[in-house]
Homo-oligomer: A and B are copies of this chain.
Amino acid sequence: MVNTIEKQTGTAFQLKKGDTLKVIDPQGEQVSDMVLFNADDKRERISSGKTLDFENTILISKGHHLWSNRSHKMMEILEDTNGRNDFLLAPCSPETFQILYNNPEYHPSCFENLYTNLSAFGIEPDDIPTAFNIFMNVQFSADGELSVDPPKSKAGDYVVFEAKMDLIVGLTACSAEQSNNYVFKPIQYEIISSRH
């Protein structure tokens, strides 16, 4: 069953070890922020620093694993039809819009959409780590400068992840203008159980 995350919203769900999660960009150019927690001990969570260290690259794609703060494999990326994801930048938050984009008004954010949906699992705002930003196109120059460019993903592009432990997953359709080429779109996902 394909589920839809409406634009500028999010969801949270459990994934069993061996299950696969397919995250789809149905219209193209739409980012999805993902965070992971060990379902049996939520203090274990996805770690950008550990993943970049063990995989030895900034660009995480097919064949790589997503690692936890305890140096365990949480997911393996089985397929990635787009190939560009970001694991450098934090989920957009109210302060992203206030400080970085100079917008003092209320603005939906991945951070809010992650912690409100993950609260059902006892996860608090301070527990939200740097997310794996699926389809996000952050370019870096030789001098380290970052630019958030339009996603390269086309309609129907997808990434398939296999859970390497029982997981709690937070997943969004990203709410930041610049990250999504200034048009907010939905994200779709499908869970394929390994148990028949």
Contact = CB atoms under 8 A, between A and B. Distances in A.
Interface of A: 43-44, 47-50, 52-54, 56-59, 69-71, 88-91, 93, 95-96, 99-100, 124, 126, 128-131, 140, 142-146
A175 B155 CA distance: 47
A99 B38 CA distance: 20
| A interface SS class | loop
A57 B144 CA distance: 5
Given A52-B89, A54-B99, A100-B54, A144 B71 contact: no
B93 A56 contact: no
A96 B48 contact: no
Given A53-B100, A69-B90, 16 more contacts: A44-B126, A49-B88, A49-B129, A49-B131, A50-B90, A53-B90, A53-B96, A54-B100, A56-B146, A57-B143, A57-B146, A58-B144, A59-B143, A70-B95, A70-B126, A71-B95
